[in-house]
């Protein structure tokens, strides 16, 4: 007997509240604000994209604060955030979106840009796969930072399954837009190595990101290696400049150093327009 596919819930409810971050709104708002404050002063152009960790705030919150603090420079022109992270619990081909109308956290609901999602589905660049989104924390833990910085922005939520960096890059390029769109890549770095080895591996990832070289970033270096690869490919074509804001691991934040998880924070800024540079710094021979 044929059964129709279940319809998505109108709102994707939080799955990580009370475990990865506070379940009570005031406590969550205070913690996010504190992480942003501790990141320090923000200067420079507003970033087009960031890479932020997605572990529990106890472990990765300070690093996430460093990734999102430059978002204080996002103006009221930002209307959409594309968040891409790895699926942790569901295996599927390609990239997965949700057809929910909003994703919720204790801070409220973040509306989905349904037009963007439907365009991706129509072009067969992604698939609708609600089970991948139901319990996964990769996107959810980024949302309280985004809700704090961009309370009116809409969300395009994308999880990666069995895919590749080129697929992610194609989607990012389609959604790139202008000042109204920012991109968040959700990824932790090395997993369950000892402290010293983790620092070595995460330094390799830092070098690759700063060189906009996706090739060295594999599953050993980052759980979200496919989203990172896609962003690095797009950033190279688009002329963005990566800036490392922080690089630590859970041994720095929780104290245990025999099995740690690495966390990195990067922002991607527009490079200066050569036409605006001092001519004396670029002599013509």
Write down the pLDDT at residue 44: 83
Q: What is the pLDDT of residues 149-203, one digit of tens each?
A: 999 999 999 999 999 999 999 999 999 999 999 999 999 999 999 999 999 999 9
Q: How far apart are CA 62 and CA 31, in angstroms?
A: 10
pLDDT at 279 over 60: no
Among the listed residues 15, 86, 69, 93, the one whose alpha carbon sits nearest the alpha carbon of residue 267: 69
Residues 6+ apart with CB under 8 A from 145: 32, 35, 36, 52, 64, 65, 68, 71
In DSSP terms, which residues pair with 17 in a beta bridge?
Answer: 21
pLDDT at 254 over 90: no
Over range 108-113, report the average pLDDT.
98
pLDDT at 6 over 80: no
Q: How far apart are CA 185 and CA 188, in angstroms?
A: 10
CATH 3.40.830.10 fits 15-271, yes or no: yes
Q: How far apart are CA 139 and CA 263, in angstroms?
A: 15
What 3 state SS string does the chain have?
CCCCCCCCCCEECCCCECCCECCCHHHHHHHHHHHHHHCCCCCCCCCCEEEECCCCHHHHHHHHHHHHHHHHHCCCCCCEEEEEEECCCCCCECEEECCCCEEEECCEEEEECHHHHHHHHHCCCCEECHHHHHCCCCCHHHHHHHHHHCCCCEEEEEEECECCHHHHHHHHHHHCCCCCEEEEEECCCCEEECHHHHHHHHHHHHHHHHCCCCCCCCCCCCCCHHHHHHHHHHHHHHCEEEEEEEEEEHHHHCCCCCCEEEEEEEEEEECCCHHHCCHHHCCCC
Q: Mean pLDDT for the chain?
A: 92
CB distance 21 to 146 below 8 Å = no
Q: What is the pLDDT of residues 25-35, one digit of tens each?
A: 999 999 999 99
Residue tagged 């010293």 (tokens):
196
Length reported for the chain: 285
Q: What is the pLDDT of residues 205-244, one digit of tens each?
A: 999 999 999 999 999 999 999 999 999 999 999 999 999 9
Kindly give the interhelix angle for 165-175 and 114-122, rounded to the nearest 10 degrees.
130
pLDDT at 4 over 60: no
Residue tagged 């603090």 (tokens):
69
Residue tagged 């022109």 (tokens):
77
CB distance 95 to 159 below 8 Å = yes
Write down the pLDDT at residue 8: 62
Q: How far apart are CA 45 and CA 43, in angstroms?
A: 7
Write down the pLDDT at residue 7: 58
């Amino acid at each position: 007997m044929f059964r129709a596919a279940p319809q998505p819930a109108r709102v994707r409810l939080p799955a990580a509240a009370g475990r990865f971050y506070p379940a009570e709104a005031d406590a969550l708002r205070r913690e996010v604000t504190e992480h942003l404050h501790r990141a320090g002063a923000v200067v420079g152009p507003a970033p087009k994209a960031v890479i932020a960790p997605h572990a529990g705030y106890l472990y990765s919150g300070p690093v996430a604060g460093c990734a999102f603090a430059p978002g204080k420079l996002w103006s009221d022109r930002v209307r959409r955030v594309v968040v891409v992270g790895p699926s942790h619990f569901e295996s599927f081909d390609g990239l997965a979106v949700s057809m929910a109308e909003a994703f919720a956290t204790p801070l409220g609901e973040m509306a989905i840009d349904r037009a963007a999602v439907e365009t991706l589905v129509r072009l067969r660049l992604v698939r609708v796969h609600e089970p991948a989104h139901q319990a996964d924390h990769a996107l959810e833990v980024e949302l309280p930072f985004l809700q704090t910085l961009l309370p009116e922005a809409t969300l395009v939520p994308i999880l990666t399954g069995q895919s590749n960096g080129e697929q992610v890059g194609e989607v990012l390029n389609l959604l790139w837009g202008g000042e109204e769109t920012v991109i968040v890549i959700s990824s932790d770095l090395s997993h369950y190595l000892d402290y010293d080895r983790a620092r070595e591996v995460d330094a390799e990832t830092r070098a690759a990101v700063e060189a906009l070289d996706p090739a060295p970033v594999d599953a050993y270096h980052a759980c979200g290696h496919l989203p990172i690869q896609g962003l690095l490919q797009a950033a190279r074509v688009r002329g963005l400049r990566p800036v490392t804001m922080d690089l630590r691991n859970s041994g720095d934040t929780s104290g245990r150093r025999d099995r740690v998880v690495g966390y990195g924070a990067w922002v991607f800024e527009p490079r200066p327009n050569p036409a605006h540079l001092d001519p004396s710094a670029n002599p013509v021979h």
